[in-house]
Chain A
Amino acid sequence: MNVSKLSARRVSRRSVVAAIAASALALTACSSSGDDETATAKPTGTVTVKVWAWYPEFQAVVDQFNSTHTDVKIEWTNAGTGQDQYTKLQTALKAGKGAPDVVQLELQEIPTFQLTKHLVDLGKYGANDVKADYVDWAWKQVSTGDSVYAIPVDAGPMAMMYRADIFEKYKLTVPTTWDEYKTQAEKLKTASGGKSFITDFGANDGGFMTGLQWQAGAQPYAYDIADPSKIGVNLNSAESKKVFDYWEGMVNGGLADNTAFHTTDFYAGLNSEKYATYLAAGWGPGYIQANAAGASGKWKVAPLPQWTAGANAQGDWGGSSFAVTDQAKYPDIAAKVAMEIFGAKNTDAWKIGIDKAFLFPTATPILESEAFLSKEYDFFGGQKVNEVFVPAYKAIGPLAWSPFNSYNFNQLTTNLGQAIEKKTAWSAALDTAQANVKTYATQQGFKVQ
C-alpha cells in the first residue's frame, strides 16, 4: 500500500518535472522566435555597427565603407593586435556587454571563440551565398556544414623569399626540394665562412611552425565545431617529426639561425647578408618591406621547397576573418557588414588592402584580378610575386585548429624553444607538447581520442 503510494507520488513528481521542462522548452521556443522577429525587424535610421580590427590602413577602408552606405555606419576601434584584442574580447563576451558587433579573428582562433558560443552563425544570415567566392580550405577554416562562424578576409600561403644577390655571389641554385635546400645551405655555410645562414627558424611563432607541418601533411588536431566535446590530438605524428627532425639538423648543424622572429636581431639579419632565404607567408611582402627596407630590390620569391620532388604541397601561416558576436543588436546587419567590408565585390576596399595594407586576399575574384596577380613589387625588383603566392594558396589542403589555440601555440613554442636552448631532441619536445595538450584537454572536459 505504502510502497505503491510512494511510487505513485514519485511518478507524479516526475511528470510534474517533465511538464515544467516541457513548458520551459516551449517558453524558450517562444522567446527565441520572438528574438528572431526583432532581429529581422527593420531598424529606423542609420544603424551603427561596432567593429574591432587591427588591419593596417583600416581607417581608409572604414571611410570607404561609410561613404558608400547610408543605412549602416561602421564605428571602428583598434583594440590591440592578436592576443591583446582576444583578452579584451574574452572579458567583454564573458561580461555580456562591451563586445563589438563585428570582430577580426585570426583563422586559428575561430574554434576557441566558437566554443564559448559567443559567435553568431552567419549561415542564417545568408553567408552561404558568398561561399562560392572562397576556395575550399579557406571556407572550411570558418565553417562546418551550413554553419558559418566568420567570413575569411586574408590568408598567408607560404613561399620562399630569397636574396638574389647572395645566391648569385655564392653561385647557389634556387632549391625546389628540402633536400636541395639543405645542400645549398651547406654550400652557403662553407662559401661564406659561416657568416650567412640559409634562413632563420623562429621557434617563437606557432603559426610559422604549424605552416611547415601543414605543408608536410600533418594534422595536429581532429576537431569539428559541430561536435565540440571530442578532440583528437596528434602533435607528434610522423609527418610533424619529419619536419622538426629536419630543422633540428639545420639549426644544430649551423645551417639555419634560431633568432626569434619579429625581433630587432631578426630584422637586422633580413637587412644584412645574414639570411639568404626567408620562409614567408602571403602577408610577407608588406612585412619584409617595412622591416628590411635596406635590402630593397635584392629579394625575390620562389615556391616553398617540397618534401617530394615535383609535388605541390603547401601550407598556410596566418590569416584572419570577420566574425559577428552574440552582442550584436542586429545580427543580420552585422553579418552584412562582415561580408561586405572586405567582400569579393568590394574592389575599392581591396585596392587599399592590397596596395597599402599588403593583405593577401582570400576571395577568389580579388585573387584572380589583374590588379593583384600582375602587381609588380619594387621591393622584389619588379617581380610579380603573387604569381607564386596565388597558386600556393590554391594548393593548400584543409586543417583543423583546436578550440584552445593559445595553449597549443604556447606548448609548441615553449617546448621547441627549450629544446633549442638545451640542445635536446626536437622530436622529444613534440612528445612533451603532445602529452601536455592531452592532459590539458582532458582537464577541460574533452573526450580525447
Chain B
Amino acid sequence: MTEVQTSPAAAPAAAGPSPKVSTRRATHLREAATGWLFVLPFVVLLIAFLLLPLAYAFKISLYRSTLIEGEVFAFTDNYQQAINDPLVREGVVRVLIFGLIQTPVMIGLALLAALLIDSATSRFSRFFRLAAFVPYAVPVVIGTLMWGFLYSDSVGPFAGLGIDFTASDTVLASLGNIVTWQWAGYNMIVLYAALQGLPKEIYESARIDGASEVQIALRIKTPMISSALVLATLFTIMGTLQFFTEPLILQPLNPGSITQHYTPNMYAYGQAFSFQQYNYSAAISFLLGAVVFIGSYIFLFATRKRSALQ
C-alpha cells in the first residue's frame, strides 16, 4: 500500500517486472487513453458520418443494379462507363471553364473590396462591409429564386433590354453572376479579417519611406495576406467544381440550356434520385471527388511557398 502511494502513477501497474519502467509505461498509456478520450467524440462522428458513408458509397459504386436483373458485382464497370460518358465529360469541362473564369473574378472583387474598406475607416466602410456580406446570409435557394425573377424576360427589371439571361450561351454567365453576388462578400470578410491582423507599424514605416496608399495595398498588404488568399481561392475552386444548387434551382426556367447533366453533381443527383441509378451515381461522385482532390492539390502545390499550408 505504502509503496503504491509513494509512486503516484503506478496504481494499475503494480505487477510489472521493474517498478520504474512499468510506471513510465502506465503514465504513457494513461496519457494516450486520455488523449483518445478527448478526440473520441470527433472520431466517432468522423467514422459514423464521413468514413462509413464514404466506404458504403464506394462499395455500391462497385455494383450494378438493373431494373430486371437486380444487383450484380460490376467492379470498375461503373467507373469505365463514367469516364467514357460524354455527358460526364461535358459537365466536368463546363465546371472547369466556369472555375477558371469565376475564381479570379470573385477573388479579385473580394480582394478589391477588402482593401478598400481596410484603408477607409469611416461609417460608410462599416455599412459597406455589412452590405457586401448580406447576400451570404441569404440562403442559396432563396437568392437563386430571386435572381430567377430578376432574369425573367416578362416581369424582371431588365425585361426591356431584350437579353435572354437563360439562353444556352448566356446562362453560364448569369449563374456566375449569382455565385459572385452570393460569395464575394464572404470571401471579402475572410480577406478583411486577415488584413486586420497585420501590424499597423509596417504601413507607417512604408509611408515614411514614401510609399503611396496604392503601393501599400499592392506591395505590402496583398503579399502579407497571401495565405488567406490561397485559402479563399481553394474554397472557391472546390465550390465551382461542385457547382450544383444554383443551376438546379434555375433549371425549370430553361431546361434546354440547363440540362440535367449541366454539372457533374447535377448529373449524379439526377442518376440517383430521378432514375434510381444509385451505383452509377456513386461512381460519378467518386470520380468528381478525385477531380476536386487533384485540382485542389495542383493549386496547393503551385502556391506552396505562399500558403504556409505545406
Contact = CB atoms under 8 A, between A and B. Distances in A.
24 contacts: A83-B273, A83-B274, A116-B67, A204-B252, A204-B255, A260-B255, A263-B252, A263-B253, A264-B154, A268-B152, A406-B275, A410-B260, A410-B270, A410-B274, A414-B256, A414-B261, A417-B259, A418-B168, A419-B256, A421-B168, A421-B257, A444-B68, A445-B66, A446-B67
B163 to A, nearest CB: 14
B140 interface: no
Contacts of B257: 417, 421
B66 A269 contact: no
B149 interface: yes
B68 A228 contact: yes
B118 interface: no
A445 B67 contact: yes
Contact of B66 (A406, A414, A418, A443): A443
Interface in B246-287: 252-257, 259-261, 270, 273-276
Contact of A418 (B152, B155, B259, B276): B259
In the complex, the 10 A-B pairs of residues with the closest C-beta atoms, listed nearest first: A417-B256, A445-B68, A268-B154, A421-B256, A445-B66, A445-B69, A444-B67, A421-B168, A204-B255, A265-B154
B167 interface: yes
Contacts of A269: 154
Nearest to B254: A260
Interface string A417-437: 111111000000000000000
A443 B64 CA distance: 10
A268 B155 CA distance: 7
Contact of B260 (A264, A403, A414, A416): A414
Nearest to B274: A406
Interface string B147-162: 0110011110000000
Interface of B is mostly: loop
Interface of A: 83, 87, 90, 115-116, 203-204, 228-229, 260, 262-265, 268-269, 272, 274, 403-404, 406-407, 410, 413-414, 416-422, 443-446
Interface string B40-76: 0000000000000000000000000011110000000
Most B CB within 10 A of own CB, among A228, A272, A419, A445:
A445
Interface in B9-56: none
B155 A420 contact: no
A444 B253 CA distance: 31
B68 A229 contact: yes
Given A264-B155, A404-B67, 15 more contacts: A87-B274, A116-B67, A203-B256, A268-B154, A272-B154, A407-B275, A414-B255, A414-B256, A417-B257, A418-B256, A421-B167, A421-B257, A443-B66, A444-B66, A444-B68
A446 B276 contact: no
Contact of A265 (B67, B153, B256, B275): B153
Nearest to A230: B68
B256 A404 contact: no
Nearest to B271: A407
Contacts of B274: 83, 87, 406-407, 410
Nearest to B278: A94
Given A404-B67, A443-B66, A445-B67, A413 B155 contact: no
Contacts of B168: 418, 421-422
A417 B67 contact: no
Contact of B253 (A115, A260, A421, A446): A260
Contacts of B66: 443-445
A61 B31 CA distance: 66
B255 A417 contact: yes
Contact of B275 (A228, A272, A404, A419): A404
Contact of B252 (A262, A404, A416, A418): A262
A167 B270 CA distance: 42
Contacts of A407: 274-275
Most B CB within 10 A of own CB, among A204, A272, A421, A445:
A421
Nearest to A403: B67
A121 to B, nearest CB: 19
Contacts of B261: 414
Nearest to A436: B87
A367 B270 CA distance: 38
Contacts of A90: 276
A204 B258 CA distance: 11
A446 B270 CA distance: 21
A426 B254 CA distance: 17
A422 B148 CA distance: 22
B68 A264 contact: no
A229 B66 CA distance: 12
Contacts of B259: 414, 417-418
Interface in B218-267: 252-257, 259-261
A417 B254 contact: yes
Contacts of A264: 148-149, 152, 154-155
A416 B259 CA distance: 11
A260 B252 contact: yes
Contacts of A417: 254-257, 259
Nearest to B261: A414
Contacts of A265: 152-155, 253
Contacts of B254: 260, 417, 421
Contacts of A262: 252
Interface in B131-176: 148-149, 152-155, 167-168
B111 to A, nearest CB: 36
Given A268-B155, A410-B270, A203 B67 contact: no
Nearest to A269: B154
A264 B149 CA distance: 8
A260 B69 CA distance: 37
B267 to A, nearest CB: 11
Nearest to B148: A264
Contacts of A87: 273-274
